[in-house]
Structure 1
Amino acid sequence: MRQRQRFGHGVVLLACLLILAGAYGLEWVAGMEPCPLCMVQRLVFVGMALVALVGFLHGSPGWGRFVYAGLNTLVVASGVAVAARHLWLQSLPPEDVPACGPGLDYMVDAFGFLETVPMVLAGSGECAEVHAVLGVTLPGWTLGAYVLLGLWTLAMTRRPR
């Protein structure tokens, strides 16, 4: 059971690290600047990776599998919400798109962290830019990844037969 849980957490950890590597590759190699909602989605993958890392190291025997599944489900739910918001912003007609805001670094410096969070989650004009890979927008890919990893995490709570 412990090895099965470690394998499951290892898959989630590896998937999150590969997704983050891809996101940074798009930024540093392809020159695509991430919008504030993209940065939040990256943080969600970091959170999922941290939960998976702790679960991997712990092995999550017995009730631990439910604790880690619950934590990762909360993180996944926040990622689904952010990705859905991002997809909604991208679906807006150009006249309804919010104005572009200042950069994330400036907002944190000028307004502080607590005031910046709602502004970032509201999205801005640059969040409405559509970048697609293989015909699917980037928030569409992240939404799919959140759903698949969330289902994988929930499947890990089942006892082996």
Structure 2
Amino acid sequence: MRIIFLLIALICAGLVSYALYLQLADGLLPCPLCIFQRMAYWLVGITALFAFIHHPQRLGRRIYCGLIILFSLAGAIVAGRQAWLVRFPEAFECGISPEEAFLNELPLARWWPDMFEANGDCTDGTWQFLSLTIPDWSLLIFLAFSLIAGLLWRSRSISSSNLK
């Protein structure tokens, strides 16, 4: 069970690293919704890493799983909104959005602008893999994290007393 938390943390680190690669190497600028998703991946990943390090018993595991579910569902909502905007760009207002202005004023955006500064277009769906855009994949991954955390929430840990 502990290894699952480590895998979630590593997947989150890999996804955020790949997003940074797409930004810096391919010039795909993140939009405000992308930045919110990055923040959700950071929160899920750090929570999973703490759960791996802490190796909690039932109550602690449920707290960590609850946080992972919360952060994953928040990320899924944002990813779903962006996936919708990619398909229906006419529903999106052009110009600097309040979200972009808010995000770019946060200390995180000033401290690490490459990671947390929003300058892209939320309706850009040029990157695709297996006919799915980045927000589509992000939505699926966040939902998978929620499902996995939900299963971990319900599972019983294997202890030596259960093996007798």
| 1:71 aligned onto 2:67 | yes
Mean alpha-carbon deviation: is it higher for 131-140 or for 37-46?
Answer: 131-140
Change in Cα spacing, 1:59 to 1:160, as seen in structure 2 (3 Å) is closer
Unaligned stretches of 5+ in structure 2? 107-118, 159-164
Which residue number in structure 2 is paired with residue 7 of structure 1? 3
Determine which of 22, 40, 46 is the counterpart of 1:44.
Answer: 40
Q: 1:98 to 1:22 in 2, by over 3 A?
A: same
- Which residue of structure 1 lines up, in the alignment, with residue 96 of structure 2? 101
Cα distance, 1:87 vs structure 2? 1.3
* Deviation beyond 4 Å, 4+ runs, structure 1: 102-105
Does structure 2 retain, via aligned residues, the 8 Å contact 1:98–1:125?
no
Q: Distance in 1 between matches of 2:54 and 2:21?
A: 31
How far residue 69 of structure 1 moved from its aligned partner, in angstroms, is 0.8
Partner of 1:87: 83
Residue 127 of structure 1 pairs with residue 127 of structure 2: no
Q: Which residue of 1 aligns with 2:143?
A: 147
Residue of structure 1 in register with 2:14 after alignment: 18
User: Over aligned residues, Cα RMSD in angstroms?
Assistant: 2.7
Partner secondary structure for residue 140 of structure 2: helix
Q: How many residues align?
A: 145
Q: Which moved more, 1:137-146 or 1:149-158?
A: 149-158
Q: How big is the shift at 1:93?
A: 4.8
TM-score normalised according to structure 2 size: 0.78
Instruction: Tell whether the 8 Å contact from 1:44 to 1:79 is kept in structure 2 after alignment.
Output: yes
Provide Cα deviations, 1:40-77, integer angstroms capped at 9, x if missing partner. Answer: 10000000011111111110112111111111111011
